[in-house]
Amino acid sequence: MATPTKSILITGAGLVGSLLSIYLRRRGYEVSIYERRGDMRKETVEAGRSINLALSDRGIKALQGVGIAEEVLQIAIPMHGRHLHQPDGSHAFQPYGKEGQYINSVSRHELNCKLLDLAEREGVHLHFHQRCDHVNWKKKEVHFAGPNETSTVPFDLLFGADGAYSATRLSHMLQHQKFDYQQYYIDCGYKELSIPAGAAGAFQLEKNALHIWPRGNYMLIALPNLDGSFTGTLFFPFEGETSFERLKTEADVEAFFRQTFPDLVPLVPDLARQFFHNPTSSLVTVKCFPWVRGDHFALIGDAAHAIVPFFGQGMNAGFEDCTVLAELMEQWGDDWEPILAEYQALRKPDGDAIADLAINNFTEMRARTADPKFLLQKKIEAWVHESHPDQWIPAYSQVTFSPHIRYSEALRNSQRQEAIMQEVMKDPDIAENWKREDVKERILAALRG
Ligand SMILES: Cc1cc2nc3c(=O)[nH]c(=O)nc-3n(C[C@H](O)[C@H](O)[C@H](O)COP(=O)(O)OP(=O)(O)OC[C@H]3O[C@@H](n4cnc5c(N)ncnc54)[C@H](O)[C@@H]3O)c2cc1C
């Protein structure tokens, strides 16, 4: 392979920008990353979003591509299923998939630091406290604002990896015609609450599970950390009868949690303090097009496709962008026009699909988990899956454990499954008759047909 001459600039040293830089460097490019915040390995930087994340097969595949998956999995905690906490204090465990299928709780900070370390070792030039201000597309240069001065940096190829509120994308949008942009906030926000470790670093909840307290139109989840603590996230409406705006005093918060999450309260002594101290953040979906321009510009990660976190896929999707780019570089070498065109053709439908799947999951959780008919439908689906695991694959498994199935395919499959189940649920006696072989056969025949 001849040494490529292009110099590549990436805005954003988050999870996706850092991983992308390693892939590019491995192909011999000069790569520089410019990051708005300080170096998180040396300074305390503002926490950003979610303290820990669920890393699943698509993300792991991308990390394997640069040989860092094993190292990352050593700092991850396997979560084999959902541990459900009901309002009456009862518990239930639902495995995620087949035996041996699990997702991994990993610290965002630790993962990002590992990627930055590797990027630096590979020779990526890292620049911190450099905020992308705007791009001069004619001259192919980016203007950055530093703490005391501004700078202008030329590029041959620019990747915007600067997250959901990407300034690079904004500059692209403002200066190029026919840029489609859609941004959608859900009416729920989120707040993180730490559940500390017990005595001698003991886990106060089952360690190897993702804990969920489902409560109709809101929920709390918790993922384990290596030090024995859990990071809880309350997904909660901003406004309305039960909402952030209604919890005004520490007494309100304590009473609400005692009533709604009774088994959680004894585990978090400073719950009310945390509630008012920790920020409330919003959840946005961003869809846009085009993601690329000629042979010299592309959006990647959240900058291209920010999604709500109800499938645990935002980072995994951004990492998968890197896998796809790596495959295209293998195919096209240094010829970036077809690489970027194919990257967009492949990833835009998949970005849209995972955004829709994530929103559907949110709406479903809210609207339907208290509906007995919906619960029956899910029970039937689980029963069919149990006896025919290779034919009826739940959407969650397709997304989480099947990197060979594209997100767009998983969305189509899940819509087809839903249509089949809607027909089955029309049977007025389904509640009595569902566990019959002929019902199962009907479902499988519809799936095959
Ligand atoms: C509550 C919550 C829970 C989540 N849970 C999961 C999960 O379990 N699994 C999962 O896969 N995903 C999850 N996600 C999604 C995940 O956080 C994102 O998809 C992921 O962080 C995207 O990575 P990124 O590098 O594209 O963007 P970011 O992580 O946002 O990184 C962007 C980087 O760009 C920098 N930057 C921003 N503006 C500029 C600028 N103007 N100039 C220079 N630099 C700039 C930022 O400082 C940052 O370092 C969750 C998200 C939320 C909100």
Q: pLDDT for 131-166, tens place per residue?
A: 999 999 999 999 999 999 999 999 999 999 999 999
**Within this chain, do residues 321 and 388 fall inside the same structural domain, yes or no?**
no
110 by Cβ neighbours in 10 Å (0-12 / 13-18 / 19+) ranks as middle
* Length of the chain as a residue count: 449
Give the percent of the chain with pLDDT over 70.
98
For residue 374, what pLDDT band results from cuts at 50, 70 and 90?
confident
**Within this chain, do residues 178 and 189 fall inside the same structural domain, yes or no?**
no
For residue 168, what pLDDT band results from cuts at 50, 70 and 90?
very high
313 Cα to the center of ligand 1, angstroms: 11
80 in a structural domain: no
User: Which one of 282, 306, 321 terminates a domain?
Assistant: 282
**Within this chain, do residues 261 and 395 fall inside the same structural domain, yes or no?**
no
| Other Cβ atoms closer than 10 A to 437 | 8
81 in a structural domain: no
Computed over every residue of the chain, the mean pLDDT equals 94
User: Which one of 282, 298, 314 terminates a domain?
Assistant: 282
Sign of CA dihedral 43, 49, 52, 53: negative
CA torsion, ordered 343, 344, 349, 353, to nearest 10 deg: 80
pLDDT above 80 for 48: no
**Within this chain, do residues 296 and 159 fall inside the same structural domain, yes or no?**
yes
- Residue 163 CB less than 6 A away from ligand 1: yes
Relative to the CA of 133, which ligand 1 atom is closest? 41
95 Cα to the center of ligand 1, angstroms: 28
**Within this chain, do residues 145 and 267 fall inside the same structural domain, yes or no?**
no
pLDDT above 60 for 1: no
Rg of the chain, C-alpha, whole Å? 23
320 in a structural domain: yes
Helix (H, G, I), strand (E, B) or coil at 53: strand
Edge to edge, the sheet with strand 7-11 lists 125-127, 30-34, 7-11, 157-160, 297-299, 292-293
**Within this chain, do residues 275 and 215 fall inside the same structural domain, yes or no?**
yes
428 in a structural domain: yes
31 in a structural domain: yes
Average pLDDT over residues 186-213: 96
379 in a structural domain: yes
**Tokens representing 336?**
């970036």
Q: What span, in angstroms and rounded, lies between the C-alpha atoms of 260 and 328?
A: 50
**Within this chain, do residues 266 and 226 fall inside the same structural domain, yes or no?**
yes
**Within this chain, do residues 123 and 113 fall inside the same structural domain, yes or no?**
yes
CA geometry: angle 252, 257, 261, nearest 5 deg: 165
Relative to the CA of 167, which ligand 1 atom is closest? 41
Q: What span, in angstroms and rounded, lies between the C-alpha atoms of 116 and 13?
A: 8
- Residue 167 CB less than 6 A away from ligand 1: yes
**Within this chain, do residues 210 and 278 fall inside the same structural domain, yes or no?**
yes
**Within this chain, do residues 308 and 419 fall inside the same structural domain, yes or no?**
no
442 in a structural domain: yes
**175 vs 412, residue with greater confidence:** 412
User: Domain total for the chain?
Assistant: 3
Query: What residue numbers bound the domain in which 264 lies?
Result: 184-282
415 in a structural domain: yes
Task: Please answer whether residues 91 and 83 qualify as being in contact, where contact means their C-beta atoms are separated by less than 8 angstroms.
Answer: yes
301 Cα to the center of ligand 1, angstroms: 8
**Within this chain, do residues 194 and 62 fall inside the same structural domain, yes or no?**
no
Relative to the CA of 233, which ligand 1 atom is closest? 1
Task: Please answer whether residues 261 and 212 qualify as being in contact, where contact means their C-beta atoms are separated by less than 8 angstroms.
Answer: no
For residue 19, what pLDDT band results from cuts at 50, 70 and 90?
very high
For residue 189, what pLDDT band results from cuts at 50, 70 and 90?
very high
Average pLDDT over residues 308-316: 97
For residue 400, what pLDDT band results from cuts at 50, 70 and 90?
very high
Relative to the CA of 302, which ligand 1 atom is closest? 26
308 Cα to the center of ligand 1, angstroms: 11
154 Cα to the center of ligand 1, angstroms: 25
**Within this chain, do residues 390 and 437 fall inside the same structural domain, yes or no?**
yes
- Residue 244 CB less than 6 A away from ligand 1: no
- Residue 157 CB less than 6 A away from ligand 1: no
- Residue 286 CB less than 6 A away from ligand 1: no
49 Cα to the center of ligand 1, angstroms: 7
Start-to-end Cα distance in the chain: 48
369 Cα to the center of ligand 1, angstroms: 29
Give the phi and the psi of residue 7 in degrees, each rounded to 5.
-105, 135
Burial string for 386-411 (b: 16+ CB within 10 Å, else e) reads eeeeeebbbbbbbbbbbbeebbbebb
Give the domain CATH number at 293: 3.50.50.60
Helix (H) or strand (E) holding 104, with range, is: strand 103-107
> Which are the contacts of 287, defined by CB distance < 8 A and separation ≥ 6?
180, 181, 182, 305, 351, 352, 355
Helix (H) or strand (E) holding 283, with range, is: strand 281-289
Task: Please answer whether residues 15 and 111 qualify as being in contact, where contact means their C-beta atoms are separated by less than 8 angstroms.
Answer: yes
pLDDT of residue 99: 83
* Beta strand residue intervals within 108-217, DSSP E: 125-127, 131-136, 141-145, 150-154, 157-160, 180-195, 210-214
